[in-house]
Structure 1
Amino acid sequence: MSFEEMWAALLPVGRDEATGGYHRFAWTPPELECRAWFLDEARRRDLDVEHDPNGNMIAWWLPEDGSRGDAVLTGSHLDSVPGGGAFDGPLGIVSAFAAVDLLRERGAGPRRPIGIAAFAEEEGARFGVACLGSRLLAGAIDPARARGLTDADGHTFAEVMHNAGFDPEAIGPDDDLLGRVGCLVELHVEQGRALREPVGVASAIVPHGRWRFDFAGEGNHAGTTRLPDRRDPMLPFAAMVIAAREAAERNGTVATVGKVRVVPGGVNAIASSVTGWLDARGPEDKAVRRTVAEIDEAARVAARPHRVSVDLAEESYSEIVDFNHALRDRIGATLGGVPVLPTGAGHDAGVLSARLPTAMLFVRNPTGVSHAPAEYAEPADCLAGVEALTAVLDELACSDRARG
């Protein structure tokens, strides 16, 4: 199948017809349908599919001698944020299958194995931890903590993994799999508007993390409880949201509160608790940490007069990822000197950079919008991305220089 045919097959899956946004949360029916599509495309090409214990899938194109070491890995993820765009994740997987097709059409065969990966729960939309599949694979999260993560319906990650056919006790680092991978090159739509050409190469991922603020007060009647008697957690929560913007401006970072849970959530009830999730990112680790500390202090100051308690928990954090220079420069030379640029978005390639050389290709996004329905890449730019990935895989895995 061509790139266009594969893209058309995936496009309706998990799409909200009213908004155009996608809801492909890990191991829900839409994401499972995407996984089934992945398996069909792998079988169509006679690729061997491997499922690791963490729910990650890899479709392998092996050399004629059947060797499995020093592999070149590519791919991305199939899950989405709530109401996300079509390109974030799937573009890298569809492009990888299309690149394998082009290599075969041009008579190229792998001297090193080529793997197309679909990493699990990259967005963290269901269980709250971004890049969960790659974090488990790399040993960047405690498996016991991962098993206990819960979704909005109270289902644990262990329960969901069991229902999907995996052994929850087996999740965690897979040194055997990582030991067979020589490098990873992930193609992704750019999540901004800095790229002025169809394709670019990533230089780095800036520090970023997620924090959970829990405000605990006292539930009560909205009409009969006097203002002085109230312990309303919504008020310090609101102060925290404003403090996030102000702290980000002071420190040259970005801070976002995009998710909130209110208990009990009644219009005529004072909340007993409010939980808000903070996303903070910036060019330097110190600036991000300082931003979060200032937001935390502002929340606690605002909570005291209302007799509300505040708890802060770090759910995930990634320091700056400076992609492997040798791999980045080799890819840049292969593509004839395309732009090199950093990103504020996290990726599986960033997590796995702690264990092996990784790099990223970006495809231009003219809207600059991501994690929303307006996310977009022109068809011609998508095909340019396929050509770029094909050239990179040819250089790294198929040519006489493949093991250089």
Structure 2
Amino acid sequence: METVTSLLDAIAGTGRDARRGGYTRPVYSTAELDLRAWFADAAGRRGLDVDTDRNGIMWAWWGAPQPGALVTGSHLDSVPGGGAFDGPLGVACALAAVDELRARGVRPRRPLAITVFPEEEGSRFGVACLGSRLLTGGIDADRARRLRDAGGTTFAEAARANGLDPEHLGADPEALARIGDFVELHVEQGRGLGEDGPAVAVGGSILGHGRWKLSITGEGNHAGTTLMEDRRDPMVAAAQIIVAARQVAAARKGARATVGRIQPVPGGTNVIASRVDLWVDVRHPEDAVTARLVETIHGKAQKIAAFEGCSVALTEESWSGTVHFDAALQRQLENALPGAPVLATGAGHDAGVLAGHVPSGMLFVRNPTGFSHSPEEFVGPADADAGAAALADALEALL
């Protein structure tokens, strides 16, 4: 049997980012397509039947596809400069869990499938968990088709280039009905699991979170000829808005607000920008508080922009309310993994999107660094194998 580490070693050179460090594997990039091929090969070697649905979700079936199946899996795309485990760990552990179940002589009483969801991170087209949102109808298909990456390619164009019919993107009740229960294993994206305790935790909830775009419009001009008092510089306003967002979140317990991306137009070194777009990620356990945080940030942004002679527009790009995983499924996972703590997470996952439609749950594997979305993300070989064994225990109990 292959270990989780040996499975991940096979893709360790795929999508390495020499500039940022770590890995950059956006959906439908060469790197992500290579990872899909790796998964299809690994699943095929295990005798699983692999297919890709009309939304680009991969399914590897142990047993004939039918409603009520037990499904596990994760994603293979990454953020720019991400770690080696966010996404691929869940897929590798699922493959290793199938090996373990077979070694135990388990005969599934219902089908088992491993899924790979596309564009979980939203790093190319800006909407996180795009594959699971399309599957469940959580995003309008027309809106999804119109999404553009930084190079201007629409999601419809990318889908067509990779063998999908853009007209068939969207809610897929038949595919969704195949999922009787969904369990996603993921690297822990914090330090809730101590260094000396259990290596695996059961997921309890996901903080509500969303992404909003702030477009600050000013007046483009020459950096050398425009006097300081004559400027309407949106970059100056953007800098103050970034600080204001941090201050708003810091004043509220449990809140997070992050600006991780900023894009000036036209982007020249010797040019005063005409517009600056920035993206703010806001999270809080209470959805009403998240909404108030965004409202407060927008209000401060408007005042800052006006003072600099600029205007600002706010656009919601994605939103997921706080998710509490299915209580009955969570109890089953806890019973299958005695001693495993229950952890909440501040990170979004496909399991959170599916939770509004099918019983869903999560397992987290220890990450001693506490870093994620970073090259410093880490899971030790023993903990990775413990994750696969725990997933096998959970799946066996549910099967």
TM-score normalised per structure 2: 0.97
2:98 is matched with which residue? 100
Alpha carbon RMSD of aligned pairs, Å? Answer: 1.1
- Compute the displacement of 1:67 (Å): 6.3
1:212 is matched with which residue? 213
- Compute the displacement of 1:306 (Å): 2.4
| SS of corresponding position for 1:195 | coil
2:357 is matched with which residue? 355
Indicate which of 319, 322, 336 corresponds to 2:324: 322
Tell me whether 120-129 or 170-179 shows the greater mean CA deviation.
Answer: 170-179
**Aligned residue identity for 1:120:** P
- Compute the displacement of 1:228 (Å): 2.3
Shift in CA distance, 67/59, structure 1 to aligned 2, threshold 3 Å: closer
**Distance in 2 between residues matched to 1:17 and 1:243, nearest whole Å:** 33
**Aligned residue identity for 1:376:** F
**Distance in 2 between residues matched to 1:17 and 1:151, nearest whole Å:** 21
Residues 173-207 of structure 1, C-alpha deviation per residue, up to 9 Å, x if partnerless?
Answer: 11001112101000000000011220000100011
1:42 is matched with which residue? 43
| Residue 117 of structure 2 corresponds to residue 123 of structure 1 | no
**Aligned residues of 1:239 and 1:298 also touching (Cα < 8 A):** no
2:388 is matched with which residue? 386
**Distance in 2 between residues matched to 1:104 and 1:16, nearest whole Å:** 37
**Aligned residue identity for 1:126:** R
- Compute the displacement of 1:68 (Å): 2.1
Residues 7-32 of structure 1, C-alpha deviation per residue, up to 9 Å, x if partnerless?
Answer: 11011110124654100000000000
| SS of corresponding position for 1:327 | helix
Tell me whether 87-96 or 300-309 shows the greater mean CA deviation.
Answer: 300-309
Indicate which of 297, 322, 327 corresponds to 1:295: 297
**Aligned residues of 1:69 and 1:112 also touching (Cα < 8 A):** no
| SS of corresponding position for 1:10 | coil
Following superposition of structure 1 onto structure 2, how do residues 176-325 of structure 1 map, counting pairs within 5 Å?
A: 176-196=174-194, 197-252=198-253, 253-325=255-327
**Aligned residue identity for 2:177:** G
**Aligned residue identity for 2:41:** D
2:338 is matched with which residue? 336
Residues 214-267 of structure 1, C-alpha deviation per residue, up to 9 Å, x if partnerless?
Answer: 011111011111122211111211111011111001222010000011111111
Unaligned runs of 5+ in 2: none
**Distance in 2 between residues matched to 1:69 and 1:350, nearest whole Å:** 20
| SS of corresponding position for 2:107 | coil
**Aligned residues of 2:207 and 2:345 also touching (Cα < 8 A):** yes
**Aligned residue identity for 2:222:** H
**Aligned residues of 1:51 and 1:58 also touching (Cα < 8 A):** yes
**Aligned residue identity for 2:149:** D
**Aligned residues of 1:251 and 1:287 also touching (Cα < 8 A):** no
**Aligned residue identity for 1:2:** E
**Aligned residues of 1:251 and 1:290 also touching (Cα < 8 A):** no
**Distance in 2 between residues matched to 1:38 and 1:52, nearest whole Å:** 15
**Aligned residues of 1:248 and 1:291 also touching (Cα < 8 A):** yes
- Compute the displacement of 1:94 (Å): 0.4
**Aligned residues of 2:209 and 2:348 also touching (Cα < 8 A):** yes
**Distance in 2 between residues matched to 1:67 and 1:162, nearest whole Å:** 25
Following superposition of structure 1 onto structure 2, how do residues 53-132 of structure 1 map, counting pairs within 5 Å?
A: 53-62=54-63, 66=64, 68-132=66-130
Residues 275-334 of structure 1, C-alpha deviation per residue, up to 9 Å, x if partnerless?
Answer: 000001112112211111111111110111322111000001111100001000111011
| SS of corresponding position for 2:240 | helix
Residues 348-384 of structure 1, C-alpha deviation per residue, up to 9 Å, x if partnerless?
Answer: 0000001100000000010000000000011111110
**Aligned residues of 1:148 and 1:157 also touching (Cα < 8 A):** yes
**Aligned residues of 2:259 and 2:279 also touching (Cα < 8 A):** yes
**Aligned residues of 2:207 and 2:283 also touching (Cα < 8 A):** yes
Count, aligned residues: 394
| SS of corresponding position for 2:334 | helix
1:167 is matched with which residue? 165
Tell me whether 232-241 or 119-128 shows the greater mean CA deviation.
Answer: 232-241
**Aligned residue identity for 1:332:** E
**Distance in 1 between residues matched to 2:151 and 2:162, nearest whole Å:** 17
Unaligned runs of 5+ in 1: 398-404
**Aligned residues of 1:49 and 1:59 also touching (Cα < 8 A):** yes
| SS of corresponding position for 2:361 | strand
**Aligned residues of 2:200 and 2:363 also touching (Cα < 8 A):** yes
**Aligned residues of 2:332 and 2:398 also touching (Cα < 8 A):** no
